[in-house]
Structure 1
Amino acid sequence: MRENGNAERHQTSANATSIIPKGIATPSLLSQIITGKFQYSLPLYRQETLFKQYGIELNRRTMSDWIKKCADALQALYERLHQELLKQSVIQADETTLNVIKEARSKCYMWVYCTGKDAPDKHNLTPNIVLYDYQPTRSGQCAVDFLQGFDGYLNVDGYQAYESTQATLAGCWAHSRRKFIETEKGISKGKSGKATMVISYIKKLYAIETLAQQSDNAEDAFKIRREKAPEVLASYKAWLEKSAQQISPKSLLGKAIQYNLNQWDKLSVYLTDYRVNIDNNRAERAVKPFVIARKNWLFSNTGNGAKSSAILYSIIETVKSNGLIPYDYLVKLFEELPKRETGADIDNLLPWNVKLTS
């Protein structure tokens, strides 16, 4: 719970305008429940127990129903964020599994698309957006549909589904490095020299990025990247091509080498535009809160419930990346949205525009 004082406040009848009129579903209580589950990974059965400690009888079925209604009310904001995401020059994407009990295929997927940075950055002119998209499959058509109309750069790992989109794919050097780290673990001690050498090349590329990020602006940072990275890349590719002729393609190391060669054009894209990232880590970090929470609640009952979760995770992660407190932001939304007509402009409620009072 946020604080003991909230218990009394939550028991007050929702006389003020609310997403869910009548009863005790005040904006503050709804925000408490949603941040409890989607920010702090507290399953509803645990929240039910916590509410009982404050003398509040609130069962998980009621809370689940409220969450669905709140997600429905936030659908327009989600769609507005989606529109903004598609306007950007670079998007990062990733996906992870989700078990949905009442789907034809229980193993479903939560796709994640994001732009900007993890936190406010004065040098970053791109809005910080994180959007989750629930889909029953991992088909490339899922990415095609979500990214319809987007023809910028798409930072991704080597998953082939993204090839179906209209975007220019940019590879992930962190994923590339991970292939060789996995190889090191699978090779006996004293025989991992080649994998270690490869990792040293990639470390040099990241050292260049660290140096570039110390620049005053993006153009200067890109200049450093363009001046220093090509030499390292040329040496690295020469090593890969030579080693590919000497090492069995069926070995762990051989597979890692072939992966890098197959991905080479995509891995080199970050040299063509300063807006493209060296890796896909922004998306991998964005999906992590969901992965952590999944360990607590394990599955979703229905596809509709998973869609509601996607909306609420999207709002919370986008708000966090814009330096706002999700609880305060949700209270603001739940106070303001009921006052507006369906289809009314909500741009002043976008996380980078909203005015919150402490």
Structure 2
Amino acid sequence: MIQCSEHFQPLLNLMRDRLLESPFIHCDETRVQVLKEPDRDPTSQSWMWVQASGPPDRKVVLFDYTSSRAQEVPLRLLESYCGYVMTDDYAGYNALALQPGVERLACMAHVRRKFVEAKKVQPQGKTGRADVALASINKLYGIERELRDVSDEQRYIGRQEKSLPELAKLKAWMEKTQPQVTSQSVLGKAVNYLANNWTRLERYIEAGFLPIDNNAAERAIRPFAIGRKAWLFSDTPKGATASAQIYSLVETAKLNGQEPYT
């Protein structure tokens, strides 16, 4: 597999060129164990970085193996990129967001999950503050479903008319609620997460082509995460790199409606 994957590099270079032409890129990372990394313990955690983007008929997913999760990695992977990047709140993306021409978005789905957890600790059968946040977030997603099949221009207009007022309500609720909850409670952590990421969360309404969440990256990672449960680890860095190359080709083919195994 390692020898075969080396022949794919020219194609992967073209795929990266296409990715960097996109107005926005989804970014995420997940753990991978590599047994024989130089000067590292076999149990050390390494990382598989994922970037996904492209128009509906030319989508691209790229996997990149590194032994590090440091901020230098996304800086290298997206060197010279200008556009929006959708990430979680991991600090490793902070340096990338400071680059000229790069604008960072935050994932609304992450926020929703935190309020779902807060709802679980509410008294059973009672409506609480988490329900208020979830109702507002669900309205925002409902608007996205309504606008799914329209043009980017129409989606922008729809978001300005419908999403902007709902975001204003959610922000007002957040500012009122944050001083009233303890920061270590499940609800407090959810509210603080919302507040700390607010500017990045609301930015998706700036343009009709921008996503509300990072689910595209999470969907791209899922096949790798499922496979990892079966094969558990890579033996060498070359093997992990080859794995990244193969996953890039296979998942890109699948996203574009092609059958990669025939």
TM-score by length of 1: 0.69
Runs of 5+ in structure 1 lacking a partner? 1-66, 329-358
Spell out structure 1 runs of 4+ moving beyond 4 A.
Answer: none
Which residue of the other structure, out of 191, 209, 215, is the alignment partner of 1:275?
209
- Distance in 2, matches of 1:250 and 1:196, equals 19
**Pair 1:102-2:33 in alignment:** no
Which residue of the other structure, out of 132, 149, 153, is the alignment partner of 2:80?
149
**Pair 1:113-2:51 in alignment:** yes
Counterpart in the other structure of 1:195: 130
Paired-residue identity, %: 40
Counterpart in the other structure of 1:208: 143
| Equivalent runs, 1:137-286 vs 2, <5 Å | 137-165=68-96, 166=99, 167-190=102-125, 193-215=128-150, 217-286=151-220
- Distance in 2, matches of 1:146 and 1:286, equals 17
How many residue pairs were aligned? 254
Counterpart in the other structure of 2:18: 84
Counterpart in the other structure of 1:296: 230
Counterpart in the other structure of 1:71: 5
Matched AA of 1:162: Y
Partner deviation per Cα, 1:99-147 (whole Å, 9 max, x = no partner): 1111215211101000036xxx4xx6xx300000101121111111100
CA contact (8 A) 2:19 2:25 kept: yes
How many angstroms does 1:214 deviate by? 3.3
- Distance in 2, matches of 1:208 and 1:258, equals 25
Matched AA of 1:137: S
- Distance in 1, matches of 2:126 and 2:184, equals 17
| Equivalent runs, 1:306-321 vs 2, <5 Å | 306-321=240-255
Partner deviation per Cα, 1:37-80 (whole Å, 9 max, x = no partner): xxxxxxxxxxxxxxxxxxxxxxxxxxxxxx11110111111111
How many angstroms does 1:153 deviate by? 0.1
Change (3 A) 1:323 1:169: same
The 3-state SS of whatever aligns with 2:27 is strand
How many angstroms does 1:187 deviate by? 4.0
TM-score by length of 2: 0.93
Change (3 A) 1:303 1:185: farther
How many angstroms does 1:256 deviate by? 0.8
Runs of 5+ in structure 2 lacking a partner? none
Q: Which has the higher contact order (CA 8 A, sep 6+)?
A: 2
Matched AA of 1:108: S
Counterpart in the other structure of 1:32: none
- Distance in 2, matches of 1:288 and 1:185, equals 25
CA contact (8 A) 2:22 2:54 kept: no
CA contact (8 A) 2:18 2:54 kept: no
